[in-house]
Structure 1
């Protein structure tokens, strides 16, 4: 490549025609020419040095500029990323890597989608597609990105561009907006909280109201416009002294808050109670800037407290003092008797057969009766005495200041008790029904603090049960014999609870035979062999089992044991056709799963259902007639037969009797015993036999003891008997021997 010669080159080139004489070469330049040439060389050298220095300065400036750019890029307050159209990261600054919590080397060539939380994944792919379809157009949106075990809220500013080498890429600016998101969330929560049901008032440091919420305006009756700019003293009710408010603000200034009950005045003028919490808001220097008051209207709660107080101390049905208030008054009465040295008395009153009223006329009628009883009791006592309802049909009357003499105090208590009996014996008008009821009353005296309150109540209760045992509609005083009887009953109850698990029950059997002497069946009778007391009478333990809820498991054991016995008898000719009667209690029969339980026993023992006969009392039948009919019909379909026991002793309804699928009526032994002795009972026996015959039912008489009774029954059409004349009640082994097994 040829280049144009410079001035210096031309000067250095030998001149043509000037030769050295010795060599015939051109002649040498003159001293002046050389000097000039040297000068030009120095100038040229200086110029080169200057140009080199300028280049060096330019290079240093360029490097400094490049470093500044790198610092700005790498450590910018926002993240920068470059993505391929497929979403792969090809470039990322340190800020973006720090925001994502990942080393930069581990991000390059990684798909950005892997950084997006799962719930935003589909959205990211849709956004990426949309961005790439609009080249040169910037798009802004928010995503949630992963960061370690958490996440960040990020704002992405995206711009699709074409690089110098014509490669399409996506430039992204990444901003962490997590803090602003949290701030927005807190503002939303604060806004919702401010409009909560609790009234809120905000004042400045001078106690001028700046803002109130809707709940506060609802409580006070003022609008927000009426309140802003006013002072809170506009709500004063006049019920609090200036000292009260001074102490309140002293507490706020000292501790930063106060809470308590305040009576304020609404816009309407109504004075109402509210619970207030006032908190001082301070700046970083500790200077109070605002006060925030939380106000809760407690007028409804205060009214409810009064109602609760009434409910806590008074019976809601009769408005009489309840047990809690009685206990309080009894404590005071004991203290008063200690000072006066005079006896008081407790009368425990229980209505006889109250359950029967509820069952037959309904609980509404029962409530009407209790209200009328309460009023009659109040009318029977002095003004200073206490009449209390304990619950159900139990009432207690507390008499005070009777006498210093035991005999005189007892006489006065007895007089009032008899007055109560007379009053409660009078007919009650229960809407359209006239009803009569009787009470049983137990009485115990008290003076000073000789006995604890609970012991006094227990004594009155024991005496009441003594009145019931004496035939009801009477009164009894507590004495030691009663206490011993109650103690024995408690011991019997404790033993009864373990009798079933300790295998102390036995089934005994009594023959049922036709007039020709042929045994057709037996009745299974429960016996309890106590390890110390021997055999306990069923009349003693069965009512107790009913009362304490053990009759259901005991009844199930009887039914299972009886069916198992029928199964064993199938293998003997003398017993394979016997029918076994089993008594079922009302509690057991009215269990929801009674029929299922019978089915299960029949299936388990694999006996023929017609060999099982269930005996019911009249009270069971009429406790819940619809349930009785439904269950009897279900069991009747599979062959189980039914007998109504003790017929004629209750309140039988012939209308219901015709609807029930009974196979047999059993004449109660109390009527059989009086055949030929009491003419009315003799007539009743004849009537029962005739009715059973007309209804197509078998008739069986129990308690047959004499030949005269047997002859009378046979003469009048009863041909099946049970009683000691036919065969006494025997244990299984003896019963089987009597049949020749």
Structure 2
């Protein structure tokens, strides 16, 4: 700005000396537009840069009031506020939207300086301006990128945090509650993987549009990244119960709205979301705490089946902490190989042992045996099921190799459970092949137990992988049969060897006619498809007798033996009385 003032003074001095050559020499040297006016703001002289920027030649503007050809706002000269400010000072800097002769608008930065004569009386004004349209746009884009998500045009995490901080302060002043709704799209990764990122992006954009359409102007919808959105509600009731009801109403509205079909290019897609809600008021110490609580609540919604919402409960924090501790211990267990396989015997209708199912147990050094019901769900959520599943496969192969050395056990089959994450991994078949290369066994003695849900998730991929493994000799058993879809259509496609009757049908087999009918149907289906049938959860002589009469020839359950370590399993094989149960 000081450069402009010096330049202006030189111009005016030249004017006072009426030395036009000096005026031109000084003014035309500048790349900024230069204008000299009289005290009535009428233009006396402009430089070439003025013409280049505005499109007006000197003869078109000399004698006109500066700004007369510019963009008027509310009927006023574009520099009206600038002139007004100049009454109180010697130099004014301003930023205005102006218009070129072509009609194109542009943003200019302008400096207007008073120039006084020897008596201190204002004799002229000198204006210097530059076109900052490009730099202004670049600055705005940088600002936009810093605070907005480019895919959805929603505020990003940074802007959300700024607004949340302000909302917390406002809540302290007003005593009113606010709420943060943490929204996560269910199964978004599956959509991305199956239909591609282009279709996934379309969904993210349409979700943003729907969320924006139902909220107030005072509310904030932000995208944190991936498939996570946050809605911030302000000005809720000061009464907690009422605020909960208000936030819950909005959450239910979002659940309903986002369940409606989406048109994604040529595909129609049905979507659901999980929502976690945390109220906030003056009691919260930081924005991080609010975000963390909403995230925890969302995780609980996921855990309870998705397509639902949950409010944060302080007890959740204890659960999450315990989960984090368990995950840490589980990682250590993998590293230190604290797992152990237990074996539950399987027998045929003649009472002969035919093999076993291998079931994993975690032998924790401090807590003792940890139930798989406690750690397997966590292992699946965190992906730790992959190294665990690999360990089980290797140990099962080792045990089959050991059984080969004994006449009684050399034809035993060993069943292991395969998780969905493990089975659907692209290199699952290659992983199994690699394991076989390290442990030379009869592949036909290894049996993979798969659930219906695993196979139906991607039936084509399932059939392809099963056929590849079947070619190696591996057997397949459909676990918990009857509890899922149980369609003959897909059963015919799958290269299965065995159906496993779920223990829920065996438990009340003696008393429940429906269970007996289901078991009879499963056995009939298996016979029609030339599949073997094994019943799990056999605990009483009555159950065994009914199963045998209905044609089931293979059994597993506490009646014959609980899951035990290999040493106890070997002892069980030596007991002759096992046939007394038949």
TM-score normalized with structure 1 length: 0.56
After superposition, residues 138-149 of structure 1 pair within 5 angstroms as none
Q: Is the 8 A contact 1:424 1:437 kept in 2?
A: no
Instruction: Write the distance in 2 (CA, Å) between the matches of 1:627 and 1:468.
Output: 26
SS where residue 326 of structure 2 aligns? helix
Aligned counterpart in structure 2 of residue 502 of structure 1, from 336, 342, 345: 336
The C-alpha deviation readout for 1:174-228, integer Å capped at 9, x for no partner, is: xxxxxxxxxxxxxxxxxxxxxxxxxxxxxx998989xxxxxxxxxxxxxxxxxxx
SS where residue 483 of structure 2 aligns? coil
Quote how far apart the aligned CAs of 1:704 are: 2.4
Judged with a 3 Å threshold, the aligned counterparts in structure 2 of structure 1 residues 645 and 314 are, in CA distance, closer, same or farther, namely farther
Instruction: Write the distance in 2 (CA, Å) between the matches of 1:300 and 1:672.
Output: 76
The C-alpha deviation readout for 1:664-707, integer Å capped at 9, x for no partner, is: 22233333335356655544433333222222222222222333
The C-alpha deviation readout for 1:382-441, integer Å capped at 9, x for no partner, is: 4422233434544332221223333443343334444445x3486536579887665543
Task: Please name the residue that 1:556 is paired with.
Answer: 390
SS where residue 379 of structure 2 aligns? helix
Instruction: Write the distance in 2 (CA, Å) between the matches of 1:382 and 1:262.
Output: 32
After superposition, residues 467-482 of structure 1 pair within 5 angstroms as 467-470=301-304, 472-482=306-316
Instruction: Write the distance in 2 (CA, Å) between the matches of 1:589 and 1:441.
Output: 29
Judged with a 3 Å threshold, the aligned counterparts in structure 2 of structure 1 residues 599 and 333 are, in CA distance, closer, same or farther, namely same
Task: Please name the residue that 2:177 is paired with.
Answer: 343
Higher relative contact order (CA 8 A, sep 6+): 2
Q: Please list every run of 5 or more consecutive structure 2 residues that lacks an aligned counterpart in the other structure.
A: 1-23, 30-46, 55-69, 72-77, 83-94, 109-130, 576-582
Judged with a 3 Å threshold, the aligned counterparts in structure 2 of structure 1 residues 207 and 374 are, in CA distance, closer, same or farther, namely closer
Quote how far apart the aligned CAs of 1:660 are: 2.9
The C-alpha deviation readout for 1:150-185, integer Å capped at 9, x for no partner, is: xxxxxxxxxxxxxxxxxxxxxxxxxxxxxxxxxxxx
Judged with a 3 Å threshold, the aligned counterparts in structure 2 of structure 1 residues 356 and 267 are, in CA distance, closer, same or farther, namely same
Quote how far apart the aligned CAs of 1:340 are: 1.2
Q: Is the 8 A contact 2:148 2:155 kept in 1?
A: yes
Q: Is 1:404–2:238 an aligned residue pair?
A: yes
Q: Is the 8 A contact 2:274 2:308 kept in 1?
A: yes
The C-alpha deviation readout for 1:262-284, integer Å capped at 9, x for no partner, is: 9999997756789xxxxxxxxxx
SS where residue 336 of structure 2 aligns? coil
Q: Is the 8 A contact 2:207 2:258 kept in 1?
A: no
Task: Please name the residue that 1:675 is paired with.
Answer: 509
Q: Is the 8 A contact 2:284 2:290 kept in 1?
A: no
Instruction: Write the distance in 2 (CA, Å) between the matches of 1:546 and 1:611.
Output: 26
Q: Is the 8 A contact 1:428 1:436 kept in 2?
A: yes
Q: Is the 8 A contact 2:178 2:280 kept in 1?
A: yes
Q: Is the 8 A contact 1:235 1:264 kept in 2?
A: no
Instruction: Write the distance in 2 (CA, Å) between the matches of 1:688 and 1:631.
Output: 25
Q: Which moved more, 1:380-389 or 1:678-687?
A: 678-687
Instruction: Write the distance in 1 (CA, Å) between the matches of 2:497 and 2:351.
Output: 21
Aligned counterpart in structure 1 of residue 261 of structure 2, from 428, 432, 444: 428
Task: Please name the residue that 2:38 is paired with.
Answer: none
Instruction: Write the distance in 2 (CA, Å) between the matches of 1:480 and 1:645.
Output: 38
SS where residue 233 of structure 2 aligns? strand
Q: Is the 8 A contact 1:564 1:605 kept in 2?
A: yes
After superposition, residues 483-522 of structure 1 pair within 5 angstroms as 483-522=317-356
Q: Is 1:566–2:400 an aligned residue pair?
A: yes
Instruction: Write the distance in 2 (CA, Å) between the matches of 1:654 and 1:303.
Output: 63
Quote how far apart the aligned CAs of 1:526 are: 1.0
Instruction: Write the distance in 1 (CA, Å) between the matches of 2:484 and 2:425.
Output: 22
Q: Is 1:547–2:364 an aligned residue pair?
A: no
Instruction: Write the distance in 1 (CA, Å) between the matches of 2:136 and 2:510.
Output: 74
After superposition, residues 28-107 of structure 1 pair within 5 angstroms as none
Instruction: Write the distance in 1 (CA, Å) between the matches of 2:284 and 2:334.
Output: 41
Task: Please name the residue that 1:594 is paired with.
Answer: 428
Task: Please name the residue that 1:124 is paired with.
Answer: none
Q: Is the 8 A contact 1:236 1:264 kept in 2?
A: no
Judged with a 3 Å threshold, the aligned counterparts in structure 2 of structure 1 residues 706 and 613 are, in CA distance, closer, same or farther, namely same
Aligned residues: 478
Instruction: Write the distance in 2 (CA, Å) between the matches of 1:684 and 1:359.
Output: 37
Quote how far apart the aligned CAs of 1:723 are: 1.9
Instruction: Write the distance in 2 (CA, Å) between the matches of 1:262 and 1:342.
Output: 40
Task: Please name the residue that 1:395 is paired with.
Answer: 229
Task: Please name the residue that 1:462 is paired with.
Answer: 296
Q: Is 1:537–2:371 an aligned residue pair?
A: yes
Instruction: Write the distance in 2 (CA, Å) between the matches of 1:266 and 1:368.
Output: 40
Q: Which moved more, 1:590-599 or 1:562-571?
A: 590-599
Query: Which of the two has higher C-alpha Rg?
Result: 1
Judged with a 3 Å threshold, the aligned counterparts in structure 2 of structure 1 residues 308 and 500 are, in CA distance, closer, same or farther, namely same
Give the CA RMSD over aligned residues: 4.0
SS where residue 572 of structure 1 aligns? coil
Aligned counterpart in structure 2 of residue 703 of structure 1, from 537, 540, 543: 537
Q: Is the 8 A contact 1:585 1:616 kept in 2?
A: yes
Q: Is 1:723–2:540 an aligned residue pair?
A: no
Q: Is the 8 A contact 1:236 1:265 kept in 2?
A: no
Q: Is the 8 A contact 1:359 1:623 kept in 2?
A: no
Q: Is 1:640–2:474 an aligned residue pair?
A: yes
